[in-house]
Structure 1
Amino acid sequence: MTVEAALHGARVRYGPLEALHGVDLAFPAGAVTVLLGRNGSGRTSVLHALAGLVRPAAGRVVWRGRDVTALGVHQRVRLGLTLVPAERAVFASLTVAEHLGLAGAPAEAVLALLPELTALLPRPAGTLSGGQQQLVALARALAGRPRLLLLDEPDRGLAPAVAARLHAHLLDTAAAEGRAVVLTARSLPRSLTGAAVVHVLHRGEVGFSGEPAELVGRPAGAW
């Protein structure tokens, strides 16, 4: 598989705390990569390093063969990267329709995928439940069709059927359109067993890398 993005020897620090200890990770194009681990394992720090929200204290961030370590968030967004954080991913005063309009692309396809949003289009995002706000953030990101899509616990607050529908869409579109998706989870959902690779992080280090089938049936934390 072609590598879309990668971290090479990445060390991420927040003050005196080092969240990633020289991590090497590769994320293939045209596929979904899953980052597993408990809270504090370093999953979110990987996404933030890829997105440019934090700059590694050491190591490199490479995207499509280019060293982008020094590029800021907005520069990476212009190159085709989108990050959906686990929390606070919507603008409270904007309606659902206005959020989808920010993507600058027709919303029909994403509303067909997430029809739960149709009745919510005129409502301000701040009046929605946590799960509904998550849907809005995901819909906006998907409508923009980014080349590199980073999702931090996208299942949070979603009904299992909706999450499974989202996973199927991510797997299908990544493969069909050559896009790279990197998402985090605490345990591997069965609807993501078609992912290209799974990395398990533990205390800022990679404890396992392999195919999803190797983890099916194993409880979280038993890696």
Structure 2
Amino acid sequence: MPVEAALRAARVRYGPLEALHGVDLAFPSAALTVLLGRNGAGRTSALHALAGVVPLSGGQALWRGRDIGGLSVHHRVRRGLALVPAERGVFGSLTVAENLSLGGPGPGEALELFPELTALLDRRAGSLSGGQQQLVAVGRALAARPTLLLLDEPERGLAPAVAARLHARLLADAAAGRTVVLAAQSLPRTLAGAAVVHVLHRGEVVFSGEPGEPFPGRFAVTR
């Protein structure tokens, strides 16, 4: 399976603390990869290292075989990368419509996926609930049509039916050629069609394989 992006012997430090201890992670092209782990496991650090939000203190971040360690966040975005953080993923002073228009020609595509946002288009994004803000952030990222989409717990604050709808869309996008990496604390049944699962624990990779393979029980499939 071709690899779209990867971390090789990647280390991330925050002052004296090391969050990633030389991890190797591969994310296949045109597929959905789930990055599992509890809080503090290193999931967010891995996504941020790929996106350029945090620098690597060792190792490499690769995209299509090229070391992108020297590329800024801005240049990675221009090349087709989008990151949806776990929180604070919207421009709070802008309306929902303005936020969604930043990703593409308008809010239409996001509203098709998340009709819940239709009545909120004129609201300032900063006044929305956490779940509503998450819908705006994901909708804007999808509207930008990135080739590499990174999402950090996008289900946070979402109703199960809405999360399932999002998962179905992400799997469809991957089947159509987009590379998707999604971080979660456990594997939802609605993502059982993912191509690869990586499990992180305390900054190290403890499992890499397919969703159907047995992996550490505390990260098992949830409803």
TM bracket (short chain): over 0.9
Question: Which aligned pairs between 1:23-42 and structure 2 lie closer than 5 A?
Answer: 23-42=23-42
Asked if the contact 2:167–2:191 (Cα under 8 Å) also holds between the matched residues in 1, the reply is: yes
Aligned to 1:78: 78
Measured on the aligned residues, the alpha-carbon RMSD in Å equals 1.6
Asked if the contact 2:41–2:200 (Cα under 8 Å) also holds between the matched residues in 1, the reply is: yes
Distance, in Å, in 1 between the alignment partners of 2:162 and 2:86 is: 17
Aligned to 1:211: 210
Distance, in Å, in 1 between the alignment partners of 2:57 and 2:154 is: 28
Q: Return the letter of the residue paired with 1:36.
A: L
Q: What's the offset of the Cα at 1:67?
A: 0.9
Structure 2, unaligned stretches of length 5 or more? none
Aligned to 1:164: 164
Distance 1:102 1:128, change over 3 A: same
Aligned to 1:154: 154
Aligned to 2:200: 201
Aligned to 2:181: 182
Q: What's the offset of the Cα at 1:216?
A: 8.5
Query: What's the TM-score, normalizing by structure 2?
Result: 0.95
Larger deviation, residues 109-118 vs 192-201:
109-118
Distance, in Å, in 2 between the alignment partners of 1:91 and 1:22 is: 34
Asked if the contact 2:10–2:20 (Cα under 8 Å) also holds between the matched residues in 1, the reply is: yes
Asked if the contact 1:33–1:196 (Cα under 8 Å) also holds between the matched residues in 2, the reply is: yes
Distance, in Å, in 2 between the alignment partners of 1:15 and 1:98 is: 37
Structure 1, unaligned stretches of length 5 or more? none
Question: Which aligned pairs between 1:1-223 and structure 2 lie closer than 5 A?
Answer: 1-176=1-176, 178-215=177-214, 218-220=217-219
Distance, in Å, in 2 between the alignment partners of 1:127 and 1:110 is: 19
Q: What's the offset of the Cα at 1:221?
A: 7.6
Distance, in Å, in 2 between the alignment partners of 1:60 and 1:6 is: 8
Aligned residues: 221
Q: Return the letter of the residue paired with 2:211.
A: P
Q: What's the offset of the Cα at 1:107?
A: 3.0
Asked if the contact 2:187–2:220 (Cα under 8 Å) also holds between the matched residues in 1, the reply is: no
Q: Return the letter of the residue paired with 2:18.
A: E
Asked if the contact 1:190–1:216 (Cα under 8 Å) also holds between the matched residues in 2, the reply is: no
Q: Return the letter of the residue paired with 2:67.
A: D
Distance 1:217 1:209, change over 3 A: closer
Distance, in Å, in 2 between the alignment partners of 1:94 and 1:106 is: 14
Q: Return the letter of the residue paired with 2:146.
A: P
1:56-97 deviation digits (Å, cap 9, x = unpaired): 111111101111011111110111111111011111111110
Q: What's the offset of the Cα at 1:217?
A: 10
Percent identity among equivalent residues?
A: 72
